[in-house]
Amino acid sequence: MAKHKITLLPGDGIGPEVTAAVVSIIECAGVDVEWDKYFVGAEAISRFGDPLPQDVLDSILRNKIALKGPVTTPVGTGFASINVRLRKTLDLYANLRPVKSMPNVITRYEDVDLVVVRENTEDLYSGLEHEVVPGVVESLKIITRKASTRIAKFAFDYAQTHGRRKVTAVHKANIMKMSDGLFLQCFREVSQDYPNIEADDKIIDNLCMQLVVNPNQFDVLLLENLYGDIVSDLTAGLVGGLGVVAGANIGEAGAVFEAVHGSAPDIAGQNKANPLALLQSAVLMLQHLGEMGPAKRINDAIEKVLASGPEHRTRDLGGTGSTADFTGAMCETLRKGTRAND
pLDDT for 299: 95
CATH topology of domain 108-238: Isopropylmalate Dehydrogenase (3.40.718)
Task: State the pTM of this model.
Answer: 0.92
Q: Which residues of 75-114 are buried (b: 16+ CB within 10 A; e: fewer)?
A: eeeebeebbebbbbebebbbbbbbbbbbebbeeeeeebeb
Q: What is the dotted CATH code of the domain comprising 1-100+240-342?
A: 3.40.718.10
Instruction: Indicate if 172 belongs to the active site.
Output: yes
Confidence (pLDDT) at 340: 55
**Residue spans in the chain of domains classed CATH 3.40.718.10:** 1-100+240-342, 108-238
Each residue of 172-187: pLDDT tens digit?
999 999 999 999 999 9
Q: 100, 153, 172, 272: which is the annotated catalytic residue?
A: 172
Query: Of residues 32, 205, 266, 300, which has the active-site annotation?
Result: 205
The pLDDT tens digits of the residues spanning 241-296 come to 999 999 999 999 999 999 988 888 889 889 999 999 999 999 999 999 999 999 99
Q: Is 201 a catalytic residue?
A: no
Q: Catalytic: 233?
A: yes
Distance (Å, rounded) from C-alpha 62 to C-alpha 288?
Answer: 16
- Residue 113 a catalytic site member: no
Please report the pLDDT score of residue 83 as a whole number. Answer: 82
Active-site annotation holds for 194: no
Catalytic choice (233, 272, 296, 304): 233
Give the model's confidence band at 74: pLDDT under 50 very low, under 70 low, under 90 confident, else very high.
Answer: low
Give 78-81's long-range contacts (Cβ < 8 A, gap of 24+). Answer: 79/45, 79/51, 80/51
